[in-house]
Structure 1
Amino acid sequence: MATFVNCPTCNTKVEWTTENRFRPFCSERCKQIDLGAWAEEKYTIPAVNLPEDPEAEDLH
């Protein structure tokens, strides 16, 4: 049975096989769009409970 995933860029169903050299993307275009988003720092991980003053942080 084949495994399918959604392309992270356009949400198209993509078969997860070694023949698909762009996986998990559906195409070179979607792969490049995602790479561009990373380069422009559009993907971030929100910080939780950061100290208000990083200089005042106690480093034990």
Structure 2
Amino acid sequence: MNASAKPCPICGEPSDVLFKPFCSKRCTHIDLHRWFGETYRVETAEGPDDPSRVPDDED
């Protein structure tokens, strides 16, 4: 690892080229679980009843 590489965002260990930006497969799985469990969220400006929103299930 070079001196400018960022540490793993999950545990802080040096990142690994194979799992970048993580250090191991374990940390990649922890991150994925957080996305699936909705621990992480992407904020948007639209509300649930926004008329400009395109329905997902068009017939």
Query: What is the rounded CA distance, in whole Å, between the counterparts of 2:22 and 2:33 in structure 1?
Result: 14
State the TM-score, normalized to the length of structure 2. Answer: 0.60
Corresponding residue number in structure 2 for 1:14: 15
Unaligned runs of 5+ in 2: 53-59
Q: Give the percent of matched residue pairs that are identical in Structure 1 and Structure 2.
A: 32
Task: Considering Cα pairs closer than 8 Å and 6+ residues apart, tell me whether 1 or 2 has the greater RCO.
Answer: 1
Q: Which of 1 and 2 has greater Rg?
A: 1
State the TM-score, normalized to the length of structure 1. Answer: 0.60
Runs of 4+ in 1 over 3 A off after TM superposition: 45-48
Q: How well do the aligned residues superpose, as a CA RMSD in angstroms?
A: 2.4
Unaligned runs of 5+ in 1: none
Structure with the higher strand share, 1 or 2: 1
Count of aligned positions:
50
